[in-house]
Structure 1
Amino acid sequence: MSIQVKQLTKNYGQQRAVDGISFNVNKGDILGFLGPNGAGKSTTMKIATGYLPPSEGEVFINDFDIVKDSKKARAIIGYLPEHNPLYLDMFVHEYLGFIASLHQIKGAKKRSRIAEMIELCGLTREQNKKISSLSKGYRQRVGLAQALFHDPEVLILDEPTTGLDPNQLAEIRGLIKQVSKDKTVILSTHIMQEVKALCNRVVIIHQGKIVADDSVAQLTSGVKQVLHVELSMPIVLKDVSNIKEFDIKELGAGKYQITSIDNKDIRERFFKLASEKGWVILGMQLIEQDLEQIFYDLTNQPKHVVNL
């Protein structure tokens, strides 16, 4: 087990930011760590990297307690915080040399590792530029280079693609996938496409508590389909209470929410029911029940709809 989080709690005065959460991450996993702003994601990741002490609970990195064996645990962690802490007045090559000195990597090994990171992170043309002159995407590459420099077994990335344009997103996403093959990764993000593209597991945290912990495939399988329909006349709900295929909920002003009992497409089945009952359908919307919708449902966010 690469990462074990056991009954982790963090209090800031009277405010409880993380509330007794537990989860494990195995070697080779890329865990998507999701939650709305203020849910406790960054706090959890800062505790897992030894940056903050927990109020209660434990975190183990490859069996090293992050508090009691902090130096050994931190030695095998690569960490990219949400706000990438770079020295903007340094040149890229110079900065990576500084990172090498922090890890006590010297001589030929230092030169070799700098060259390797520059190539791996696509920084060849930028290596002699000041970091202050780089775009956000290239600064993220430099941040990833420092996180990967000592070839850590565990990689913790806190919103590594925030603020990037679509091209930069694709590049950083590809880089993370490339370097993560033999590591254990926790990736915090708000971008659901990123989770689907990179992660094999998901933990969703809300108000300091875990509300979902499963594989991406399992979390999105068996999702019930939801329709929003508008009819020209009201439904007498007691007349359809015996229908077993879906639930009907009134939304007001001739609008209804139709939820499937199973995970099969209910549009054709509802259309047939409407024909039998003489209902005139004025509009129909399919509620997108993918990972994004699951996240919204679990964290009480507004639903996203797709017009048919």
Structure 2
Amino acid sequence: MPNRKQWLEELRTRMIVRPIQEDERTRYGLPLGKEVSWIFNHAIGGGQANFDEPIGGLTPQERVMLYAYLNQKAHVDELIHAFAKLVPDLERFRNATVIDIGCGPFTAGLALANVVGAGVAYRYFGIDHSASMCEFGARLAARVEAINEFHSGTEVSFHQNIDEIDFGRIRGGEITIFVLSYLLASTSIDVDELVRQIKSAQKRVGLGATVLLYTNTGRESARKLYPDFCSKLTAAGFVEQIEEVELFKDSDKDRLIHYALFVSPPVSKVKTAEFFA
């Protein structure tokens, strides 16, 4: 069982569960008046849908809310476990740059805030193609800030295109942490382009070591892209440190989760002009 803090339970109830359950359309176990099977297959499309389009009388924001209502709790719990398991030294997050690719509604961000607490400042960049996902993620992050569960120096922002992010001045020894959670569950992901984006962002952030935390369902059918991703990421200078499929137990149901951790060493030599540019 993950160590889920009380504030996270209260945030989920206030901003996700209660708005869905108290909506006048929610009756007879039908969230917003929709069959759960229809929601999974159409409204959220297994998490890979275009959430910025209305569907079946639902607005884009309502589709995101239903995704968070049905999917996010389990994924947050898995990521709480993953952060504690794979990056147990919380000092690694001090002044880190966290880049969450396919962030959804701040799922990994909530897990990270639960694990790190308000004692460590870091920068979080959430990236999701869906503007409605980014908007709801920003609302959740604002609530975390309002209840003082972020360090005062923590910065959170959301973006739709990783290549357009200005990370600011190139950093020195601070660590960069990429998070990829369930991203490769979609077979439409272009692995070559994904690795290119990771390397480009890594170079634009700074010179310190880089860690990439990967999680996915443990179902074999959803792990087809992993060998290609691993091979190309290794060719780009990352080393696979941990890779395993584990039975994850929580209060909902037991399920197989695929974890991996990759590390890229810090840049040992750099031109002075580049560092201070």
TM-score normalized with structure 1 length: 0.29
TM-score (norm 2): 0.31
The structure in which a higher percent of residues are helix is: 2
Q: RCO (CA 8 Å, sep 6+): is it higher in 1 or 2?
A: 1
The higher radius of gyration belongs to 1
The structure with more strand, counted as a fraction of residues:
1
